Amino acid sequence: MQMEFNGKTAIVTGASRGIGRAIALRLGRSGARVVLSARHSGSLSEAVAEIRAAGGAASALPLDLRLPDAPARLSDFAIQETGRIDMVVNNAGATRRGLFLALPDEDWIDGFALKFFGAVRLTRAAWPHLKLTGGAVLFIAGIGGRTPGPQFAIGGSVNAALLSLTKSLADGGLADGIRVNAINPGTIRTQRFQTRLEALAKETGTDAATAEREYVRHAGITRIGEPEDVADLAAFVLGPRGTLLHGSILDLDAGATKSL
């Protein structure tokens, strides 16, 4: 694997598992010094150990990005640890699923607090450092920002806000030499998806493999994505081969998004 991120520092949020962990490991294997953050210190320590075992350099700061001062603390920590920030991957955040009338204000506030405002505050805190390095910001949003569906009112709204933010910051980033892009993952084999799949198998009286085949068929997609699929695209977008991408919103969804 090319060491295309040698000497560069990447902050990755939501990095203790799933997509964030895969991105952190991918960047670490490519030479980046990775600063990981998530709420659960145990899983975060395991992710750091995995990166180091693969020959990468990593450090971690467990914190809750819903707290207003946490993003600035993470940016400061990255500077203290490595002296620079070249990449910010805003991946943290899961939102409550459910029908609109069943979702109280608390669920809406929580959904925006982490995935949207956490990303806003971290990007703002890191921006002066990214300006110095000619860095890049990547938002991991989701296809629900384009086609949310009745069970994804909060997540769709949050993701749509992130997509709009991507375009706005990309325009502003031109003057500061900072690239800004977003990836919209579709259905990815995370723990959250596995839980949904197990529930579907139980409801239909089938095994997990059969339930997955039916899910893929009904969704009209080619397959379930893996966290590593997102990590590979993230590395391309952030790396030297992705410099033509700016203000881009990339659907990585196996064909789920049918609209233009």
E-only strand ranges, 124-167: 136-140
pLDDT confidence tier of residue 259, bands split at 50, 70 and 90: confident
Q: What is the pLDDT of residues 87-136, one digit of tens each?
A: 999 999 989 999 999 999 999 999 999 999 999 999 999 999 999 999 99
Rounded Cα gap, residues 110 and 128, in angstroms: 28
Q: What is the pLDDT of residues 133-184, one digit of tens each?
A: 999 999 999 999 999 889 999 999 999 999 999 999 999 999 999 999 999 9
Instruction: Look at residues 108, 118, 195 and name the one whose alpha carbon lies nearest to residue 152.
Output: 108
1 pLDDT exceeds 70?
Answer: no
pLDDT confidence tier of residue 16, bands split at 50, 70 and 90: very high
DSSP 15-64: TTSHHHHHHHHHHHHTT-EEEEEES-HHHHHHHHHHHHHTT-EEEEEE--
Q: What is the pLDDT of residues 25-69, one digit of tens each?
A: 999 999 999 999 999 899 999 999 999 999 999 999 999 999 999
Q: Which residues contact 161 (CB under 8 A, 6 or more apart)?
A: 112, 116, 145
Name the pTM for this structure. 0.96
Q: Determine the topology of domain 9-187+228-247 in CATH.
A: Rossmann fold (3.40.50)
Q: What is the pLDDT of residues 193-238, one digit of tens each?
A: 998 899 889 998 999 999 999 999 999 999 999 999 999 999 999 9
